[in-house]
């Protein structure tokens, strides 16, 4: 098998698995328990919190564990907006956010908020200037993703953060695709909230975190017990939290080495695709993109047929976001960067891990070229 869908999810690192295992059967105590079995779990949670705080260059008490990216986005955006509505009801986001964020804005519109959905340029970049122009006296929250899941483009988060801070506007960034892959610092960058999800950086699924800057108070998404200082109640998923802590530490230690290898192979993959598949074009920015991310549109094919045929050859790939599979609508991200619905039909996303080899990439491109040839022949595309 050649796995090229690491933006959808990654394989758990063996070191994470080893660290998690004792917390299923040996150290299974509830962290709230007043006995040593509970204390072991509580200590493991604090270790993970420290590992994540170090990775994000922030304080430990600014990290709140959640069930993943979707929950973190919901908490920051919905509760951030509600907390500020006395000051104003205008919100700014981009038209290419993940649905975990976008659907929160649609919901807030129903509750009387007004939302500006900014269009990025054709590479998917949203300039700070464009954000600045959209700011109004009643703007209370801006949410712009760190890097896009479908086209890999990285946004100027530091600049946008500075702008939001100057104007006293809350700023959230969905860093689900970026955290663990790019160096991010809460001290250097002025975001107030940041969402991340462990399964995108070789940790377990169903666990993530929301960074909340210490000076910011927002209402809780859930109500219940005292876990996470009462802000995110519910018995902690201890093995998953432990796994995410280790995944964060390993990602930081190996970021440079992994990133260098991945970006070289990403560029090789892009070049091979462009050279071997007539008409194939890159979507998103060429250099300002995630190190492991390549995405294309290929005219004359249906992305879904290509994926099925790739699967029969043992290759896992995607045509966009894992969350929109089965949707008949063209990708909102490709629409936002001015691609046509026709182009969007032939989209292909290939996302690498640090384990991928040059031989696997060469083999993948050869197979894609063969399948594209067959599909084009069947559809009569010239």
DSSP 242-267: HHHHHHHHHHHHHHHHHHHHHHHHHH
* 68/259 with CB nearer ligand PLP: 68
Antiparallel, parallel or unpaired: β 208-212 and 347-351: unpaired
Question: CB 212 → ligand PLP: shortest distance, Å?
Answer: 17
Question: CB 358 → ligand PLP: shortest distance, Å?
Answer: 26
* 333/371 with CB nearer ligand PLP: 333
Question: CB 187 → ligand PLP: shortest distance, Å?
Answer: 23
How many CB atoms lie under 10 A from the CB of residue 62?
21
Measured CA to CA, the distance from residue 140 to residue 272 in angstroms comes to: 45
DSSP H stretches of helix in 282-354: 303-312, 332-336, 341-345
Of 284, 310, 312, nearest in space to 297 by CA: 284
Measured CA to CA, the distance from residue 141 to residue 90 in angstroms comes to: 7
Does residue 70 belong to the site contacting ligand PLP (CB under 6 A)? yes
Of 85, 162, 152, nearest in space to 123 by CA: 152
DSSP 94-163: ETT--HHHHHHHHHHHHTT-EEEEE---TTS---HHHHHHH--TTEEEEE--SB-TTT-BBP-HHHHHHH
Does residue 292 belong to the site contacting ligand PLP (CB under 6 A)? no
Does residue 81 belong to the site contacting ligand PLP (CB under 6 A)? no
Of 23, 289, 303, nearest in space to 149 by CA: 289
Q: Which of 40, 78, 90, 98 is the binder for ligand PLP (CB under 6 A)? A: 98
Does residue 69 belong to the site contacting ligand PLP (CB under 6 A)? yes
What is the number of the residue whose Cβ is closest to ligand PLP?
69
Measured CA to CA, the distance from residue 370 to residue 276 in angstroms comes to: 10
- The answer to whether 29 and 35 are in contact (CB under 8 A) is yes
Does residue 78 belong to the site contacting ligand PLP (CB under 6 A)? no
Does residue 145 belong to the site contacting ligand PLP (CB under 6 A)? yes
Question: CB 178 → ligand PLP: shortest distance, Å?
Answer: 8
Question: CB 75 → ligand PLP: shortest distance, Å?
Answer: 12
Q: Which of 31, 180, 208, 303 is the binder for ligand PLP (CB under 6 A)? A: 208
Does residue 176 belong to the site contacting ligand PLP (CB under 6 A)? yes
Q: Which of 149, 251, 319, 331 is the binder for ligand PLP (CB under 6 A)? A: 149
Measured CA to CA, the distance from residue 15 to residue 251 in angstroms comes to: 11
Q: Which of 139, 197, 251, 364 is the binder for ligand PLP (CB under 6 A)? A: 197
**225-244: contacts with ligand PLP (CB under 6 A):** none
Question: CB 135 → ligand PLP: shortest distance, Å?
Answer: 23
* 149/272 with CB nearer ligand PLP: 149
The residues annotated with a catalytic role in the active site are 323
Q: Which of 19, 55, 63, 68 is the binder for ligand PLP (CB under 6 A)? A: 68
Residues near ligand PLP (CB under 6 A) are 68-70, 73, 98, 100, 145, 149, 174, 176-177, 197, 208, 322-323
């Amino acid at each position: 098998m050649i796995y090229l869908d690491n933006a959808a999810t990654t394989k758990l690192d063996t070191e994470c698995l080893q660290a998690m295992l004792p917390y299923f059967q040996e150290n299974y105590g509830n962290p709230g328990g007043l006995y040593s079995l509970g204390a072991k779990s509580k200590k493991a949670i604090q270790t993970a919190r420290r590992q994540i705080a170090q990775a994000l260059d922030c304080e430990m008490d600014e990290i709140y564990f959640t069930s993943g990216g979707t929950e973190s986005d919901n908490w920051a955006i919905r509760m951030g907006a509600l907390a500020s509505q006395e000051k104003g009801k205008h919100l700014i986001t981009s038209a290419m956010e993940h649905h975990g964020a976008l659907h929160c804005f649609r919901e807030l519109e129903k509750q009387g908020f007004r939302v500006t959905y900014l269009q990025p340029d054709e590479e998917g970049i949203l300039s700070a200037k464009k954000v600045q122009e959209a700011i109004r006296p009643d703007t209370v929250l801006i949410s712009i993703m760190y890097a896009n899941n479908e086209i890999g483009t990285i946004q100027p988060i530091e600049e946008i953060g500075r702008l939001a801070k100057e104007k006293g506007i809350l700023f959230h960034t969905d860093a689900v695709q970026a955290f663990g892959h790019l160096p991010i610092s809460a001290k250097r960058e002025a975001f107030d909230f940041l969402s991340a999800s462990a399964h995108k950086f070789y940790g377990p699924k169903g666990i993530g975190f929301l960074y909340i800057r210490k000076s910011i108070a927002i209402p809780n998404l859930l109500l219940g017990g005292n876990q996470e200082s009462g802000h995110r109640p519910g018995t902690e998923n201890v093995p998953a939290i432990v796994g995410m802590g280790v995944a964060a530490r390993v990602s930081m230690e190996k970021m440079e080495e992994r990133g260098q290898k991945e970006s070289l192979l990403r560029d090789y993959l892009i070049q091979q695709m462009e050279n071997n598949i007539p008409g194939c074009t890159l979507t998103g920015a060429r250099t300002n993109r995630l190190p492991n991310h390549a995405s294309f549109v290929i005219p004359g094919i249906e992305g879904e047929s290509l994926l099925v045929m790739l699967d029969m050859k043992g290759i896992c790939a995607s045509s966009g976001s894992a969350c929109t599979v089965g949707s008949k609508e063209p990708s909102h991200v490709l629409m936002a960067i001015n691609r046509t619905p026709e182009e969007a039909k032939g989209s292909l996303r290939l996302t690498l891990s640090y384990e991928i080899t040059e031989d696997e990439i060469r083999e993948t491109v050869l197979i894609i070229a063969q399948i594209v040839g067959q599909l084009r022949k069947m559809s009569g595309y010239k």
